[in-house]
Amino acid sequence: MKFTRLFIAIAALSIIAASSAKAQRGGVNWTKDGNAYYQNTGGEIVTITLPKNERKTVVSRELLTPSNAQNPLNVRSFQLNADGTKALIYTNTKRVWRQDSRGDYWVA
């Protein structure tokens, strides 16, 4: 009887811990020097330099807007090249099985 209660308590705690860890999975995209982080906001990709919270546009809203569209791309994720001059943008994602593994890639 005590073993069953202990097992149920451990199982419940494991489920709660796993769900809270999944909620925090996204993380922060830090710059190489570690003094700023990237943020996708307002249809553009910017860096926020700490501790003063200075904003600098990395990829502008105009670059993220296709020529035949009025709104910028809905950026799911992005990667910058080594010198930060180009960005590989993942957008228009579709769920395949359990993950968003199908989508479009753009270079800006």
| Average predicted confidence (pLDDT) for the chain | 80
* Domain annotation covers residue 38: yes
Domains in the chain, number: 1
> Tokens at residue 70, please?
């009025």
Helix (H) or strand (E) holding 97: none
> Tokens at residue 80, please?
């910058």
> Tokens at residue 39, please?
């943020």
* Domain annotation covers residue 3: no
What would the pLDDT profile of 23-32 be if each residue is shown by its tens digit?
344 567 888 8
* Domain annotation covers residue 41: yes
What would the pLDDT profile of 29-88 be if each residue is shown by its tens digit?
888 888 999 988 888 889 999 989 999 999 889 888 888 888 888 888 888 888 888 888
Q: How far is CA 62 from CA 15, 28, 102, in A?
A: 44, 24, 25
* Domain annotation covers residue 61: yes
Put simply, whether the predicted model's pTM sits higher than 0.75 gets the answer no
* Domain annotation covers residue 20: no
* Domain annotation covers residue 52: yes
Does 51 sit behind a cis peptide bond, omega within 30 degrees of 0 on the bond before it?
yes
* Domain annotation covers residue 37: yes
Residue 77 sits in which domain range? 27-107
Q: Exposed/middle/buried for 9, CB within 10 Å: 0-12, 13-18, 19+?
A: exposed
* Domain annotation covers residue 17: no
Q: How far is CA 68 from CA 45, 72, 93, 102, in A?
A: 21, 11, 19, 22
What would the pLDDT profile of 98-107 be if each residue is shown by its tens digit?
877 788 888 8
